[in-house]
Structure 1
């Protein structure tokens, strides 16, 4: 599928905003990457994940306690993804390249494939946000996420089954979608086929074997077949968190799904304005939400400046809002996570019915 382009003839908004953000870091003598607070949080999250995993393996406890710990482990896996893997994948975790790589490969420790993620997320999603056929994150099997996607009979019921698909998304990602990408060589249905270097082939199979060993074989050996239930609870808890956070940022009532001109293949908006029209913030006033989500509730700032660490988003947020107001650019935001969630549910309900 041929790539689209954005309007690049007149970009006063983008140049002004970039200058202001650059001056902010220069004036305050700050690096745009992570800082000590991020490193401490990362060590804490990994330590919690390891402690929960070991507790489930070696401690005897009532089944309801085990189930609660499995939920907590799944949520912790998601927070590791939000705070550590995501930052490393964007090279914003640290000024040191090796530390970015280590943090990015926490995805492989959770069974995913960072090689695929960087192509699907960094390139497709961040460049062509909410563009059908190019942003593969909005191509969700059995879900109609925007009006340009065909409506099937079962979409009428997506308001009732969405939580099942969101819940199994992490398990499907690790056990099916990665293999689909591996054998097809495509990041999405309409994507071009790409070959993998030998190194990535070895890492892929090593990752999948380690995942099976750490999260299935060892738990079954230590606990018994009931460990499969624990694995399912962990996977559903993690998947639900990951899926919901993405949907609240891009698939709500106010976000747009632009279509390129059929002849020129061009979207008339400049790229930064496109990001603002397809992305929405939520709960930016909640420090707890920001801490847990690694600043992904500041999704607008992240999409405008993906190489800047989330620890700087609250300050950048003020610059972005002021510049948007000055240039008359709409800035999308929900005051709370609950409001954003309700907007998402209304959106998918309407798309399933009409």
Structure 2
């Protein structure tokens, strides 16, 4: 399937003007600020401290298990807060700082190069478009939209999805990055040519990961303690990452655009498809917003990915009011539990709907 085309844009100019006015009137830069840099230091410092304590000063079992859970959460939180802004160029006004922030993903085991293509270039451009958006391709294990083939096992996907989400981190690090690298594609979208330094960074960090997270901890702690700890960290990180991204796009209220054929064109303009296929959740909860790097403001992120997440609560009020004035969708769940319930209900319907 080829990536589709969109209808003629008209809403984007209105939203862009309203949001730009906010920054211009307040003389505020749309990139990160001191609060973001402080949060980055806290998250990275806590992560490094926990790693050192677990590997070199291994505590008793019950305390080590708790620290492994925290390390798994911090893995996801660094991805949400540091890597994500850096990869979108919104962490700082300095490109080299953004690149450094994005490289935190490579340190954690995944490839920032592959993420840039999969997330920035494909997912943001073709959100929830089956056959193009790789984020909704969990076949054969999950059926996430009506256009995907239904299998008998999907009748139970609303029960077993928890286990699959916990495996995301393993799958990402040890399979999907390599698949993209060797096939030179993200789904149906070809990768841009890799330069020599892209190859070097890819393999350099992929070789560093087993030393830092497997061999060294195994040597210092023993095989069984390492294995238990590693499984806890990876499963907590995978489940957290998967759940947050799914609550933003695969819930009952979101749409899955289908291009008309043979023109391969989606009638709605790009902005409207983003509003129909994306959902916010728990935007009044400051703790959730802080931990998730503003990804609960997914609408704001998709419409303005170059704006740092620290500004999402402010521009969210503008975008919500603009959508209300224009009579266009703005999907939001007041609490995270409501978004999770909607996601489970969606999985149940997709598993039983012919």
Which TM-score bucket, shorter chain as reference? over 0.9
Query: 1:81 Cα shift?
Result: 0.3
Q: Secondary structure at the match of 2:142?
A: coil
Which piece of structure 1 moves more, 221-230 or 117-126? 221-230
Q: Residue 144 of structure 1 aligns with which residue?
A: 143
Unpaired runs of 5+ residues, structure 1, are none
Q: Distance in 1 between matches of 2:166 and 2:330?
A: 30
Q: Distance in 1 between matches of 2:294 and 2:190?
A: 32
1:27-56 CA-partner distances (Å, limit 9, x unpaired): 100100000000000000000000110110
Task: Decide which of 209, 212, 217 is 1:211's aligned counterpart.
Answer: 209
Q: Secondary structure at the match of 1:333?
A: strand
Q: Distance in 2 between matches of 1:65 and 1:176?
A: 31
Query: 1:193 Cα shift?
Result: 5.8
Q: Residue 283 of structure 1 aligns with which residue?
A: 282
Query: 1:60 Cα shift?
Result: 3.8
Structure 1 residue runs of 4 or more that deviate by more than 4 Å after TM superposition: none
Query: 1:152 Cα shift?
Result: 1.0
Task: Decide which of 193, 197, 209 is 1:199's aligned counterpart.
Answer: 197
Q: Residue 39 of structure 2 aligns with which residue?
A: 41
Q: Residue 312 of structure 1 aligns with which residue?
A: 311
Q: Residue 23 of structure 1 aligns with which residue?
A: 21
**How many residues are matched?**
351
Q: Residue 77 of structure 2 aligns with which residue?
A: 79
Task: Establish whether residue 334 from structure 1 lines up as the match of residue 333 from structure 2.
Answer: yes
1:179-228 CA-partner distances (Å, limit 9, x unpaired): 1111111112x333654222211111111111000000000010010202
Q: Distance in 1 between matches of 2:60 and 2:29?
A: 48
Q: Residue 7 of structure 1 aligns with which residue?
A: 7
What do you get for the CA RMSD once the two structures are aligned?
Answer: 1.1
Q: Residue 69 of structure 1 aligns with which residue?
A: 67
Which piece of structure 1 moves more, 190-199 or 271-280? 190-199
TM-score (norm 2): 0.97
Q: Residue 298 of structure 1 aligns with which residue?
A: 297
Query: 1:140 Cα shift?
Result: 1.1
Q: Secondary structure at the match of 1:127?
A: coil
Q: Residue 237 of structure 1 aligns with which residue?
A: 236
Unpaired runs of 5+ residues, structure 2, are none
Q: Residue 153 of structure 1 aligns with which residue?
A: 152
Q: Distance in 1 between matches of 2:155 and 2:135?
A: 21
Task: Establish whether residue 172 from structure 1 lines up as the match of residue 171 from structure 2.
Answer: yes
